Amino acid sequence: MKLLPLEATVILSDDIVTRENKDGTVIVMKMDSSDKFCKIDGAAAELFKDLKKNIPLKTSVESISKNHGVSLATVHNDVSAFLTTLVSMGIVTLE
């Protein structure tokens, strides 16, 4: 899999609705003719919340790496896979 550049700008789609649950999970629904939704938890939920706050991708990845004691390379790889999935669902776009 190709790693996404950490300098990429992640833009949340205008036609999504999000809900943050008390346990830290995030539910994301596309409000178009499809029935697409996903439940995001753990470090992925942290990333998604950061993106909603317009925190740069690189800053969020570095923070997750530090807070969870996981190498930057591992987090970068996991985030690339996660964001690629969100792009395919139409939840985010990358610039």
Q: What is the DSSP letter of 3?
A: P
Please name every residue paired with 40 in a beta bridge, in sequence order, or none if there are none: 26
Each domain of the chain, given as residue ranges in start order, spans 10-94
Cβ of 13: how many Cβ atoms within 10 Å? 16
What is the tens place of the pLDDT at every residue in 52-95? 999 999 999 999 999 999 999 999 999 999 999 999 999 999 99
Answer whether 45's CB lies under 8 Å from 60's CB: no
Specify the residue for token string 């970068």.
76
Confidence of residue 49 (pLDDT cuts 50, 70, 90): very high
Q: Provide CB contacts within 8 A for 23, sequence distance 6+.
A: 41
